[in-house]
Structure 1
Amino acid sequence: MATQRPSAGDSRHFVVVFAGFHRPWATWIAHRLESHGQSVHLHRWDPPREVPLETAIGDLLLAPGRLLLVLSDWFFQLGPRREGEWSEALRGIVAANADRFAAVNLTNRALLPATVVLKPVDLWGIGAQEAERRLLTRLELPTGPARRTLPAGPGSRYPNDPPAVWGEVPRRNVRFTGRDDLLNRLQEHLTDATQGTAVVALLGMSGIGKTQLAAEYAHRFSSDYDVIWWVNSDTRGTQRERLGELAPELGLPSGSEPGERIRAVQEALRRGDPYARWLLIFDGWDDIEGGVDLLPEGPGHVLITSRNRSWSECGITLLEVPGFDRGESTSYLMRRAPRITAEQADEVAAELGDIPLALVQAAAWLGESDMDVAEYLRMVRDGELSGLADQGDFDGVPRSSLTSWSILINRLREAQPHAVELLSLCASFAPGRIPIGLVRHLPAADLPESLTWLATDLPSWTRALDTLVNYSVFTRDSRTTVTGDDPGPEQESVHMHRIVHDIVGRLTSAEERKLHRRVVRRMLAAADPGNPQDSRLWPRYAELLPHLEPSGALVSSDARVQETVLNLLRYCHRSGEFRVGVELAEQVREHWSEMFPPEHPRMLDLANQQGNILRSYGHFRPAYELDRELLERLRTASGVDGTALMTATSCLAADLRYLGQYSEALQIQREVLESALELLGPDDYATLLAQHNLGVSLRLLGRYAEAYDIDLETLRKRETQLRARHAATLVSGIACARDLRLMGRYRDALARQELGMRLHIQVLGPQHPQTLRARHNLALCERRAGVLQNMGEMMASLLEQMEQVHGRKHYATVGLVVDYGNFAREHGDLDHAKDLIAEGESAFRELLGPAHPISTGMLSNTGLVLQAAGERAEALTMFEAAYAGLSATLGEDHPWVLGCALNAAAGRNFAGRLDSAQELSRGTLRRARRALGEDHPFTLSCEVALAMDLRGLREHEEAGKVEEDALQRFTRTLGAQHPHTVSARHRVRPYWDFEPYIG
């Protein structure tokens, strides 16, 4: 009897029954059926193995409507159950209720013969339109146009069509087991979060399966997203580079610099343009210091895998990843090794503590080998480890798990020696992502005879990799699209878990380790691009950096390897990885000191780079001691290269600037520039650096116009010799903007720094230390130019970023604390100002010592806070101390001294010492005109102050003339509405707040 087909107006109910693995298909099927007016319910099905299959299917029949089963070989592994049990159920309860069942088939492999009762329609390898037609036909629904148009959303995309952007998500683990409840909870956390806060961190011990869980989420819920991007986060450098690589994938016009790319990516994700449904996965993000600002905001989702519980302090939802429950453990073992029984699987799972990483290895071994389970368990329990477990430091991994890994590797050594050689070579890298394909760039002559097959025997290379992947020793690192081609052998990367890495390393002989580390060192040297100053090459340096220490590169006597080590130190300095650079430089010094005398060229290069990083990190005194000792040695040694002496002298000049010895630094810096011009010529990179540092020295001495001339010339040459967007060129741009501000040309300074700020974000990114320096200078330019809207919020935000990048006590952060305090005082937030200024004064005294000019100048800021609080006598004491202290160290005409004098004159006036105030104001005005010029805003402030002192002495005629001249000049130079002009017009006593600048 023929079944009557429903009419177009009929609506029926369907229950789509699927294994969690095929959720994208189930949601698409539901979406299409609903668009044709049908009612649909999704039912994820994975009945416990102990429940008889007929009972579980009988429970499905309790639901109203027809049951549509989403079939594949995965579906018939649920449980898992024996083939006979499935066949019996299909021939029994399913056949008896055939009118209630229908099925679709997602595989090109043969299904169980008994599935014929379901009449499955084949959806494998066809397009969306044909799949929809076949689905509707099988369910006896009209195949005409959809009755309603559903909005694009979760589940609407055809599963064979990948997201528009899919980046480096690990290949799907076809043996992934269980975790369904955890995956659903993860989805709920992400989808229920408010926009901009959809961030979840998967937390758990090593080997617990965090990465696998994140990868499965990406695949299982892929139809919910248009962009899915995987970011390896083992190191900050590789993390930043990988995030920046998303920019071209989104079609963003961002150039090649990582900072520019990151800014473009974050802005695009925030706007949801071109895609609002995005998922970013940061894998292995344990070191969160200074990196939280990489987290994007917007309508998408962020998933993090980590062992660091501190994520909760950042307001991020933590989701604990436990070990498998016993049912998941046994199911996984039985799927991977079908020959073992449920009882045997339970015994193995219990022995290995239900830890996923251990179960993966055990299942791989039991599935690939014919070893009896009882023999395997005996070996695990007997501890065939040669004392490996007793060595400790395995992050809580049970002894049984370590033994299991040892068994696998020792057996592979017998059966697949090439695989173990490749595996041991990987153990000479750092764990995590390993660019193993670099070995194929080496000529066979650079490899020891036993390893020449790595470069010459492609079939053996492929077999070795496949073997290790099949045994789950490591996974291939994918850099392909979902449907794209695999990388070639030279681009091959693998991911090696840290526990596996540790075990392999301990099971490798000392002789093998020595041989393999030498190979890895040669690989790193061959991969060195040779130009760490070019930000476009930073991704490669970030990739190489983690592997220096494990490969023994720090103790290598190979000149090429040593140059690579130095280049990576240069990379740390240029890219702002100061903390990493300080640690690395100290390690290198410890090893190289045993290899070279202090005056050796390698040690000179090391000292130069170490000093640069120490200064940038705020460790001024250690940098000075290092450079002073080195320079003394060089000056007394014979046959020293002139360039080396020049470089060492330049480092000492920099140290002296930071230590406040400005005149000595200027003298030495002039010598450095003369040497550079003689030795290298006017256009060399080192010469331009010496010229830039001369500008810094002049600026610190208050000779702003001279500094500007030098800086402008340096900027022009750097634009020509380097490029406009080179990091060094951007530094010159900051210098010119700072000079213009200090010269009183506030509008010009603001215009230049606004452009420089945009370039910094594009080239270096919003969180690079140099970008933060540019933003700080922009804030000061805006304040001096009278652009005060949202200034307090901007400075508070910048301070938070500075603290994240540098820490609270770094000199750059402390300088901003002080400037923020000055702004808060000026705008009436006296309590906040008092706290900030006190913090800044204390921090600078601790960092620089009490006699440093900056520590002395800070007394003037403290005086302004006291004066604003009505404590005038105490304020005057501070003003006079700052004035006297800086006069003694910097001389009467230094702008900082003049500023302290302006404040001291005000303090004397407020204390009733009018004659003394007038005398100091008149002298300050005279010196300001000489040092800064008649139209400089500070000079005009001195005029206003003198007029007030004269008026207090009843010398009204002169006071009027002086005041009128100041008002005219203020109006002409700054404009009638500038805050300085308005204050002068209202006869508000001018003051000078000290902006600490270290250089």
Structure 2
Amino acid sequence: MADERHPEKSDGSGDTGQGPQHIVVTYPGYHRAFATWIERRLESHGHRVTLQRWDPSRDQPLDEALGDLLLARGQVLLVLSDWFFQIGPRREGEWNAVLRGFVAENAERFAAVNLTNRPLLPATAVLEPVDLWGVNEPEAERRLLSRLALTPASPPRELPYAPGSRYPSDPVEVWGEVPRRNRQFTGRDELLNQLQQRLTDAGQGASVCTLVGMSGIGKTQIAAEYAHRFSPDYDVVWWVNSDQRNTQRDRFGELAVELGVTESSEPGERIRAVRETLRRGEPYSRWLLIFDGWEEPEEAAQYIPQGGTGHVLITSRNRSWSSLTDIVDVSGFVRSESVGYLMRRAPHVTGDEADQVAAEFNDVPLQMAQAAAWLGESGMEAGEYLRMVRQGGFSETADRSVLTDYPESSFTSWSILINKLRQTEPRTVELLTLCSAFAPGRIPLGLVRGLPAEDLPENLRWITSDLPAWARALDSLVNYSVLARDSRGDSRGASGDVLGPQQESVHMHRVVHGIVGELTASADREVYREVVRGLLAEADPGNPQDSRSWPRYAELLPHLGSSGSLSSRAPRTQTLLLNCLRYCFNGGEFRVGAELAERIRERWSELLAPDASPMLALTTLQGNILRAGGRFHEAHELDSARLELLRGATTTDEEELMTATSCLAADQRFLGQWGEALQMQREVVSTSLRLLGPDEWTTLLAHHNLGVGLRLLGRYAEAYEVDLGTLRRREALLRNRHPDTLSSANACARDLRLMGRYQEALSRQEMCVRRHIQVLGPQHPKTLWARHNLLLCERRAGTSERDSGAVLASLLEQQEQAAGRSHFTTYALITDYGNQLRRSGDLAQARELIDEAENGWRRLLGQAHPVPTAMQTNAGLVLQAEGDRDGALNMFEQALVGTRVLLGDDHPTTLGCALNAACGRNFVGRLDEAVELSRETLRRSVHVLGEDHPLTLSCQVALAADLRAVREHTEAGKQEEDALQRLTRTLGAQHPHTLSARQRVRPYWDFEPNLS
């Protein structure tokens, strides 16, 4: 440790060591955090501080640059580390000379603190630096004041909070896998300061910046350096790899655990909880989110908190982020940064030579890193290196697309490196070739060490047995800037447990991956890909239904294509692929799952017969994913072809045929083919009972789907009987907290509501929602659907005392986060929210939402479908509320005609449309037609739903109104009196329906879309 002497000063500047002093704190940008802390502490003791970021031009003499610092009054405090002496860079001899000369002559004006445990230049002793490395804040402050001969204030002045208040050596409260700090990070000081200023100056809720630039330009490195350099400004720093949507969802959701805001493992719930917690700023108001490699901004609202005092930093190649965020363009190094970087990593290179190398590679940071690593490690003269690069050129088979925006000499420079490694470090090349069999980005390389040696080719068996050789090979690739150690590859995990080599991961830039893949391609390349396929299969958790295994599947998914897994005949690999699809289905990754399923199908169609067991399993999963994602027609086409294939086979497994039939029935239900679907579902139930018995999981699912089919056809009492039986069996076999049991409980409550038994439905649904929240969490898609049903139950029961519009708006926001705006479950909620807004008088927004939902339903389902057809009656109710009676009647009549054609005259949806059409006719003066339609509708409703059903009673009240309009008062009075008595008996005297009927308010029917 340096001596802490602090001689009295007498420099003629008026500074005596007593009273307020002026100190110039001089620091490299790399140590901005410590310089800011020093400033704050000195100011708290009453002194004036000037911060001076110091990066003088390499062309300026060093004594002149240091002399400029002395132009200010007071003492100059240098913030030293080995990094400080690399500024420029300048030769060691130049520094020693100026320290022994100019600095020694002005020693009374200079002081220093040391932030490293590595040795400094010998002549640094003249500065008498005091060590701040490895000490706590009180001791660091004591040493700082002692070195500057300053008397501590008693007590120190309390300063208002400002960025950088925390002691830099104190860890951030929550630190989320930010890449290790790059000790070779060069320059970019102006850009980093500009970035920090933009984020700080942005208004609350708008502190979002996107770093935009081409691949390899250094965006990730800048984001990582920002996180490290400005970490004292934040309590939470969380890094999210965003090149894969599923990885992004899982990684962002993991922050919920760190914040302690939810115990749910469901991604949608975690994402919502994190956004809301950060928006509120509790428990942390100073947070930084970094989304690295986020190319598509469509889902930005799902992740970026809309408010709060934190900051969001995004890296992307996509300039369309400019419509949502502030944009910071990232270009190549300026020439002085390139030259300085090369000279620091390769000290034997002169400034002129470094300038030539930088010009050769257009100052692109990724290529500069490779060139500097090569020159520094090999010691080759720069002239020889440039000659080799310029003469090499591309190989005839090289894929030039991997070097878009790069000079051709870049490929040659990598070729030089790999040829050298082949001669001197063959095992390093073997490891690099293995890496190229993965996808670019994060590579879980350590998994290979978990494979048995006999599963590896002979030339790779050293990986599992020779740990020192493994470490040397990895170190070499990192030193040559081919790989970067991933933050999850640190020696300790988040829990503090020591991580072994099997948990080690690395990161390979996509450009480097493309180049290396070309240069290491050989006849035995398939051998390496086979190894990766084996380790991916070995890493399969085997339980894609368990959300705890989803992060591992998200990690494996990107490497399936590059490893050749999609074309593998190995049963274990094919099982992995199917499990990855199951993960996508259960985790809600429908888009990713659909793309993966199609890629698998393309490959398997060349390997497997259409009726092979893996291919049939693929079809089931692909259809489920397409259907869950709202791609109903594609799912129907797929499932139809499979069922036709199985029915035409000479021998068919009955269970396979049953599965295919069940899938097609599901497609038909979504496509509005409800009669055909019910017939097929009855076949499924019958076959399952015969093959598997009444209590098997498949049989219970078949009964549940039978209830869905009956409910869609308006046969609510039959649906309830089936659903209640399924619920009782599931409660007995699975218990009442199983997700399948919860689905049955939700179905029973819906049946009761549609049957008009509102209070009973509400009572059941309240319990059902509580259990959904307890078991699945409040944001699980099934919970959101249950909560939606609860709101409908409350409305129908007339017991909602809260602002149901605000509740629906909040639920819609959560639903959109979980499933997206264009998902069919979201459209159902948009419809009900629009209906609620119409009832509350917000007609403009109601019209907007109803139109959005109707158009969305038509895109998903087509024109000739009951749901978009019936949606016209909702649009008519908006027009009627706006006073456009002719327009309203037109919509009512279209809905009535369409539902009669699609569903028949007796379906409850048709009856509801008829109720509204009769109202429309009355309002435009077509009174006789209104009476005729009202009589017919009441008769049919009594027959279908019964005399006491609320829809029947609404039809009776409407008929009374139409009879009064044509002056048939006697019959009108009888109908009205009977309806009021029944409403009072069934719903209660204070129910809104009863009160409206008593006040002679014309009843209407709004359509609630339902596909399940």
TM-score interval (norm. to shorter): over 0.9
- Correspondence for 2:312: 302
2:702 to 690, 713, 726: 690
CA deviations 1:741-793 (Å, max 9, x no partner) are: 42335566567667777887898788876566556556645654565966556
Contact persistence 2:399–2:518 (CA under 8 A): no
Structure 1 residue 721 displacement after superposition: 6.1
Query: Which ranges of structure 1 fall in alignment gaps of 5 or more residues?
Result: none
After superposition, the Cα gap between the structure-2 partners of 1:885 and 1:320, relative to the gap in structure 1 and judged at 3 Å, is closer
* Correspondence 1:928 to 2:920: no
Separation in 1, partners of 2:728, 2:30:
60
Note the 1:621-700 alignment, pairs <5 A: 621-700=633-712
Contact persistence 1:412–1:420 (CA under 8 A): yes
1:3 to 5, 8, 19: 8
After superposition, the Cα gap between the structure-2 partners of 1:52 and 1:967, relative to the gap in structure 1 and judged at 3 Å, is farther
Contact persistence 1:257–1:536 (CA under 8 A): no
Note the 1:161-176 alignment, pairs <5 A: 161-176=170-185
Q: How many residue pairs end up in the alignment?
A: 998
Note the 1:318-397 alignment, pairs <5 A: 318-387=327-396, 391-397=400-406
Which shows bigger deviation, 210-219 or 87-96?
A: 87-96
Separation in 1, partners of 2:56, 2:760:
73
Structure 1 residue 916 displacement after superposition: 4.5
- Correspondence for 1:312: 322
Which shows bigger deviation, 714-723 or 295-304?
A: 714-723
Percent of pairs with identical residues = 65
- Correspondence for 1:200: 209
Separation in 2, partners of 1:451, 1:994:
65
* Correspondence 1:464 to 2:464: no
- Correspondence for 1:547: 559
Structure 1 residue 475 displacement after superposition: 0.8
Contact persistence 1:21–1:220 (CA under 8 A): yes
* Aligned residue identity for 1:3: E
- Correspondence for 2:227: 218
- Correspondence for 2:611: 599
Contact persistence 2:438–2:562 (CA under 8 A): yes
- Correspondence for 1:942: 955
- Correspondence for 2:445: 436
- Correspondence for 1:251: 260
Structure 1 residue 580 displacement after superposition: 1.8
Separation in 1, partners of 2:9, 2:564:
76
After superposition, the Cα gap between the structure-2 partners of 1:313 and 1:115, relative to the gap in structure 1 and judged at 3 Å, is same
1:573 to 555, 567, 585: 585
* Aligned residue identity for 1:576: G
Separation in 1, partners of 2:392, 2:379:
20
Separation in 2, partners of 1:348, 1:89:
29
Match of 1:550, SS state, is: coil
After superposition, the Cα gap between the structure-2 partners of 1:262 and 1:733, relative to the gap in structure 1 and judged at 3 Å, is farther
* Correspondence 1:612 to 2:624: yes
Separation in 2, partners of 1:804, 1:271:
18
Separation in 1, partners of 2:697, 2:872:
39
Structure 1 residue 965 displacement after superposition: 4.5
Structure 1 residue 975 displacement after superposition: 5.9
Separation in 2, partners of 1:200, 1:393:
28
Separation in 1, partners of 2:971, 2:78:
99
* Aligned residue identity for 1:474: L
2:505 to 472, 486, 493: 493
Match of 1:22, SS state, is: helix
After superposition, the Cα gap between the structure-2 partners of 1:146 and 1:832, relative to the gap in structure 1 and judged at 3 Å, is closer
Structure 1 residue 409 displacement after superposition: 2.0
Which shows bigger deviation, 105-114 or 44-53?
A: 105-114
1:454 to 430, 452, 463: 463
User: Normalising by the residue count of structure 2, what TM-score does the alignment of the two structures yield?
Assistant: 0.92
Separation in 2, partners of 1:148, 1:986:
72
Which shows bigger deviation, 528-537 or 946-955?
A: 946-955
Contact persistence 2:393–2:411 (CA under 8 A): no
Separation in 2, partners of 1:434, 1:4:
57
Contact persistence 1:263–1:761 (CA under 8 A): no
- Correspondence for 1:31: 40
After superposition, the Cα gap between the structure-2 partners of 1:872 and 1:4, relative to the gap in structure 1 and judged at 3 Å, is closer
Separation in 2, partners of 1:721, 1:539:
30
* Aligned residue identity for 2:689: L
Contact persistence 1:195–1:298 (CA under 8 A): yes
CA deviations 1:955-988 (Å, max 9, x no partner) are: 4344334434444554565566654344323322
- Correspondence for 1:951: 964
CA deviations 1:496-520 (Å, max 9, x no partner) are: 1000111111112243321111111
Which shows bigger deviation, 553-562 or 618-627?
A: 618-627
* Correspondence 1:183 to 2:188: no
1:86 to 95, 101, 108: 95
Which shows bigger deviation, 131-140 or 906-915?
A: 906-915
1:100 to 97, 109, 112: 109
After superposition, the Cα gap between the structure-2 partners of 1:78 and 1:629, relative to the gap in structure 1 and judged at 3 Å, is same
Which shows bigger deviation, 253-262 or 573-582?
A: 253-262
- Correspondence for 1:66: 75
Contact persistence 2:172–2:234 (CA under 8 A): yes
After superposition, the Cα gap between the structure-2 partners of 1:575 and 1:950, relative to the gap in structure 1 and judged at 3 Å, is same
* Correspondence 1:121 to 2:126: no
After superposition, the Cα gap between the structure-2 partners of 1:146 and 1:994, relative to the gap in structure 1 and judged at 3 Å, is same
Query: Which ranges of structure 2 fall in alignment gaps of 5 or more residues?
Result: 1-5
* Aligned residue identity for 1:670: R
Note the 1:641-790 alignment, pairs <5 A: 641-712=653-724, 714=726, 731-732=743-744, 734-746=746-758, 773=785, 777=789, 780-781=792-793, 784=796, 787=800
After superposition, the Cα gap between the structure-2 partners of 1:714 and 1:231, relative to the gap in structure 1 and judged at 3 Å, is farther
CA deviations 1:467-510 (Å, max 9, x no partner) are: 11111111111135799676321111111100011111111224
* Aligned residue identity for 1:988: V
Structure 1 residue 616 displacement after superposition: 2.3
CA deviations 1:118-144 (Å, max 9, x no partner) are: 111122222222222221211112357
Structure 1 residue 807 displacement after superposition: 7.0
Structure 1 residue 37 displacement after superposition: 2.3
Report 1 or 2 for greater relative contact order, CA contacts < 8 Å, sequence distance ≥ 6: 1
Separation in 1, partners of 2:33, 2:879:
67
After superposition, the Cα gap between the structure-2 partners of 1:547 and 1:723, relative to the gap in structure 1 and judged at 3 Å, is farther
Separation in 2, partners of 1:818, 1:418:
63
Contact persistence 2:281–2:308 (CA under 8 A): yes
After superposition, the Cα gap between the structure-2 partners of 1:751 and 1:82, relative to the gap in structure 1 and judged at 3 Å, is farther
Structure 1 residue 738 displacement after superposition: 3.5
Separation in 2, partners of 1:240, 1:17:
42
CA-based RMSD: 3.1
Separation in 2, partners of 1:399, 1:726:
60
- Correspondence for 1:237: 246
Match of 1:593, SS state, is: helix
Contact persistence 1:257–1:763 (CA under 8 A): no
Note the 1:963-974 alignment, pairs <5 A: 963-967=976-980, 969-970=982-983
Separation in 1, partners of 2:734, 2:452:
34
- Correspondence for 1:54: 63
Which shows bigger deviation, 685-694 or 604-613?
A: 685-694
Separation in 2, partners of 1:964, 1:948:
12
* Correspondence 1:900 to 2:907: no
After superposition, the Cα gap between the structure-2 partners of 1:153 and 1:829, relative to the gap in structure 1 and judged at 3 Å, is closer
After superposition, the Cα gap between the structure-2 partners of 1:730 and 1:375, relative to the gap in structure 1 and judged at 3 Å, is farther
CA deviations 1:788-844 (Å, max 9, x no partner) are: 966556666776777787777654455455445544544555565556555555554
Contact persistence 2:268–2:817 (CA under 8 A): no
